[in-house]
Amino acid sequence: MLQIYNTLSRSKQVFQPIVPGQVKLYVCGMTVYDFCHIGHARVMIVFDMVVRWLRASGYEVLYVRNITDIDDKIIQRAVENGEPIAALTNRFIDAMHADSDELGLMHPDQEPRATDYIKQMQGMIGKLIENELAYQADEGDVNFAVRLFPRYGQLSGKSLDELNAGERVAIIGGKRDPLDFVLWKSAKPEEPADTRWASPWGEGRPGWHIECSAMSCDLLGEHFDIHGGGADLQFPHHENEIAQSEGALYGKNRQEDDAPFVNYWMHNGHIRVNEEKMSKSLGNFFLIRDVLKSFDPEVLRFFMLKAHYRSPINYSDAQLEEARSGLVRLYTALAQTPATQTVTLDPHNPWAQRFATALNDDFNTPEAIAVLFDLASEVNRAQGEEKQMLANTLQALGGVLNFLQCDPTTFLQSGSKQESALSPALIEEQIGARVAAKQAKDFAKADLIRKTLLDQGVVLEDKPGGITEWRRA
């Protein structure tokens, strides 16, 4: 039975979908003004895993991840480049898809763009004004009146008094309260024409928070199962989504038995780089495409899922090398006994049971990966038909997490992209020289060739029948 840690309740809860057998999932996606970085990669990989496990568990999943294609940073970058907004955002949407494809991730079922949902956003803003939860300031912006929504702070666990005590920003833009947030930004004279839309409140563009409320409600309904995103979005973005969405639906008088906007809120942990916060100013900011120049995509996926999705993780080349070493252990077991068929996992299979127990415990991928390591050890020890059955199971379970689907020999011989690796042709030439040395009974030379290759990261394994196989260390 699947349990999910719900940020809203601060506890694990048994997952009960609104419609039996169906899951509606929304994840906050990227703001497309630059290439995706490893923080984006974690969100993409984590929720790819969540969807894979839900589907493997028999659920029909509708997975929606939005694209923010209108935003202050987008406008600034487009103006700096002297190009239309759409040209900039389309270029980086294509780059995001290329990164996702290289990582081997599924595309969401729906990928709505904010600029295609202006009408729905305006409709929701109109409802909030009608429900007296929003107002237009003298300067033209439309703002949400936070203090008029009694349940504000439920996701972050902060009271209005706590939030106000920490507020040091002057009331600007005609806000009645520093906690109020913008729903519709009034257009400025200097802003390009392609950054503004007509509205009942004058020309302008949507605020960031209203986008996700409008798109998720339109595609998934006003009450859906799971909403996910990075931990940094818990407050204020997701807190504001709840206020907007429930405020538009119920007004100021939401009752305890009214259905919530979302049943389960999931947040993945931050990424730190060498124990520091990742930021461009510190020079420790890594793009997905740059990381994949040095490491195999499966290594990056394995690294991300070695840690529990809610835990912060520390990114470094050494950590990625450690992840690669873990994959080498698993692929080495499969190289000895390649899987002969794609098996349908029997729920009574003890390995499948342990694996499912781990993932049903709030998607505990570290424990699920531990099952793979234990299974690989059994593959190494077993013989005959049992060895083959275990190898098939290992590959099948790995496939649930999108691992171990490469040809084992190809993976093991590919090595780390960081290495100035010996070419396969040169390795085979050295193996041939070692065979000749052994035939000439020059065992010292044969041993020296083995050691020289090992020093350069190449492991030789002598097999029955005079066959020598090799892999990268």
- DSSP secondary structure string for all residues of 49-93: HHHHHHHHTT-EEEEEE-BB---HHHHHHHHHHT--HHHHHHHHH
> Tokens at residue 242, please?
């709840």
Distance between CA atoms of 280 and 415, rounded to whole angstroms? 30
pLDDT the model gives residue 404: 95
Domain 317-407 carries which CATH code?
1.20.120.640
pLDDT the model gives residue 158: 86
Provide the whole-model pTM: 0.88
Determine whether domain 3-271 maps to CATH 3.40.50.620. Answer: yes
Contact at 8 Å (CB) between 149 and 133?
A: yes
pLDDT the model gives residue 461: 76
pLDDT the model gives residue 168: 47
Distance set, CA 389 to CA 80, 327, 339, 384 (Å): 59, 20, 8, 9
pLDDT the model gives residue 128: 98
Q: Which residues of the chain have pLDDT under 50?
A: 166, 168, 170, 420
Three-state DSSP at 116 gives: helix
